[in-house]
Amino acid sequence: MASNAFERLARIELAPPRYLSLPTAGVDVSASGVKVAVLKEKLHGIELVAFGEARLPLGAVSGGEMSDRKTIVDAVRSLSKKHHVKFANLALSESRSYLFEAAASGKDLAAWKTSVEQRLDEYVPLPPQEVAFDVVPVGVPGDTTPVVGVGYAHRVIEESLAVFEESGVVVRAIENEMFSMPRALLPKGDQETVLIIDIGKSTTKLAIVSKRIPHFATTLDIGGHALTLAVQKHFGVTEEEAKRVKAEHGLVSTDADGGYIEAMLSTVSAIREEIVRRLEYWQSRARQEGRDPVTRAILVGGNATVRGLPEYLETSLRVPVELGDVFRNLAPRDQWLPPLDYLESLAYATAIGLALRDYEV
């Protein structure tokens, strides 16, 4: 403990001048917008010192693809100027990735990657020469070592790098967003197996994470905007009014005719059923293969704040469902007050996880 304290003090007190050691921001580009988080290490821990979001029009990012490049470039450039961001860690969309598990031979990372590369076409349905991938060990090394890998088409990576280059931001690291979120939501060294549910504007992303490493991930093509549309249709109001009603009443409204709740449940039940199906598959597989079952679910995302949603999901998932805490790996709350509202912070799990990457060595 004393050694860790000394190392932190040395990093802070003996750090190079700011112009030689600019912080690396976490930048998350999603269908709803571009979010940025900047962290700074202080004596009592890490603080969130800057954050921001630039909204994107519906369709600017579709299926994980940056469809409206100019709009996204403008958004990244605007945020980076406002928050003095020169360097960034960037998340790539889960929906354009190929997550896989493998048994790799060798004793180190280079050997494991070579082993996986020799049969990469078994894990990624693309020509191997068109794929960039990485692996991380998830078991005890031996003759073979269990690894989790993720692959992307070269063009997906090049597309993202080009957007940031045009925006004037230097990308220091790229990773799958499902590797970023656990870094923010779970403590370092955590051994749990949990389900992370990220409800965004147009998608719901699911990840089953063990020891902070995703072993399963998928994206559902339905998100919180569908709930807004259901409210609009029921009341005949504008989108902004529907958002307000959704936020105020959620799934616990006392609407006399029951029509509002019926409209909401007809949509949210579709999300619930998809989550239940995938969780049941994992739990069954865990029993058969001796894996650790999911013990709880963590709810994040811009639409995770719908009142009554954790309780509604919990009745079907049969595991506790709770809202996430994206600040849990930052400075203790009695020594630092986050500048970002808690409910709003649920949309920043990926961005904060990306920024934390530089503090976990």
> What CATH number has the domain bearing residue 334?
3.30.420.40
Quick check: is 124 in a domain? no
Quick check: is 103 in a domain? no
49 and 76 belong to one structural domain: yes
217 and 72 belong to one structural domain: no
Q: By the 8 A CB rule, do 196 and 350 touch?
A: no
Quick check: is 129 in a domain? no
* Confidence (pLDDT) at 134: 95
Quick check: is 121 in a domain? no
Neighbours of 196 (CB within 10 A): 23
* Confidence (pLDDT) at 251: 85
Range of the domain at 230: 190-324
Closest CA to 182 of 275, 294, 298: 298
Question: What percentage of the chain reaches a pLDDT higher than 70?
Answer: 92
* Confidence (pLDDT) at 18: 43
Read out DSSP for 233-286? HHHT--HHHHHHHHHHHTT----TTSHHHHHHHHHHHHHHHHHHHHHHHHHHHH
24, β-bridge pairs: 87
Question: What percentage of the chain reaches a pLDDT higher than 90?
Answer: 71
Domain count, the chain: 2
Cα–Cα distance between 217 and 203 in angstroms, integer? 13
Neighbours of 149 (CB within 10 A): 21
206, β-bridge pairs: 197, 218
Which pLDDT tens digit goes with each residue over 300-358?
A: 998 898 889 999 999 999 999 999 999 999 999 899 999 999 999 999 999 999 999 98
Question: Would you say residue 139 has pLDDT above 90?
Answer: no
Read off the amino acid at residue 20: L
207 and 320 belong to one structural domain: yes
* Confidence (pLDDT) at 254: 61
Q: By the 8 A CB rule, do 12 and 41 touch?
A: yes
Which pLDDT tens digit goes with each residue over 80-110?
A: 999 999 999 999 999 999 999 999 999 899 9
Closest CA to 298 of 195, 176, 146, 145: 195
Phi and psi angles of residue 50, each rounded to the nearest 5 degrees, phi first:
-155, 145
Tokens read off for 303: 């639409």
256 and 317 belong to one structural domain: yes
Cα–Cα distance between 348 and 338 in angstroms, integer? 13
Cα–Cα distance between 261 and 81 in angstroms, integer? 43
74 and 181 belong to one structural domain: yes
Quick check: is 241 in a domain? yes
209, β-bridge pairs: 194, 214
Cα–Cα distance between 177 and 267 in angstroms, integer? 26
Which pLDDT tens digit goes with each residue over 169-221?
A: 999 999 999 999 999 999 999 999 999 999 998 899 999 999 999 999 999 99
> pTM of the entire structure?
0.90
Quick check: is 65 in a domain? yes
- Map tokens 């960034």 to a residue: 88
Question: Would you say residue 152 has pLDDT above 80?
Answer: yes
End-to-end Cα separation, the chain, in angstroms: 16
235 and 344 belong to one structural domain: no
* Confidence (pLDDT) at 242: 86
Contacts of 237 (CB under 8 A, 6+ apart): 231, 245
- List C-alpha distances in Å: 240 to 19, 30, 140, 228, 260: 42, 20, 52, 9, 17
Q: Angle formed by the axes of helices 259-289 and 239-249, to 10°?
A: 60
